[in-house]
Amino acid sequence: MKAIATPLGVCASLLAVSVLLAQSRNPDKPSVDAAPKYNPSIYEELQKAPEKARNRANPLQNDPDAIAAGAILFEQHCAECHGNSAEGSRKAPSLRVPEVQNASHGSLFWLLTNGVVRKGMPVWSKLPEPQRWQLVRYIKSLGVPATAAESPAPKP
């Protein structure tokens, strides 16, 4: 009996150790400090959209399926950095902030098309234009969570 029990015991402790290691390394573990601190200057790039780009209307503004399609695209291409519901992660800032939510559809489309490559935001010009407009509809549908809306700069 002892001959079986010992290898089993070794296996069990190895298992315990690997579980512990996996937990300590799991980058997805929810932690409060995962999202970067809110910092309006991160979003300055959006302000740089040329007027013509900024004023472009979203051709899918009245398409009832655009938001759902955008949500799928977001999960495929953006969630790994911006988080599953665009709340931000260590890799990329939240998109549920006034700077993004108040930006025009055209500005967001322009940003996706050009990226902010030097700061780690990829260029998405390879995505067909309608998909970029769908992503913009999705992002704009998210709004600002109540807590984030309260935290920025003290009210005048």
- Least distance from ligand HEC to the Cβ atom of residue 58, Å: 14
CA–CA separation, 6 and 138 (whole Å): 57
Which of 6, 10, 119, 149 touches ligand HEC (CB under 6 A)?
Answer: 119
Query: Per-residue contact track with ligand HEC, 70 to 89, x per CB under 6 A?
Result: -------xx-xxx-------
Shortest gap between Cβ of 14 and ligand HEC (angstroms)?
A: 35
Q: Is 97 in the site for ligand HEC (CB under 6 A)?
A: no
C-alpha closest to that of 142 among 88, 62, 80 = 88
Between 2 and 126, CB nearer to ligand HEC: 126
Q: By the 8 A CB rule, do 44 and 103 touch?
A: no
- Which window, 6-14, 61-69, 110-118, 145-153, contacts ligand HEC (CB under 6 A)? 110-118
Residue 115, token pair as written in the block: 């990226």
Binding residue for ligand HEC (CB under 6 A) from 49, 66, 121, 142?
121
**Residues 6 or more apart from 119 whose CB is under 8 A from it?**
45
Compute CA distances 141 → 27, 82, 101, 129, 137, whole Å: 28, 16, 8, 19, 6
Least Cβ distance, residue 51 to ligand HEC (angstroms): 17
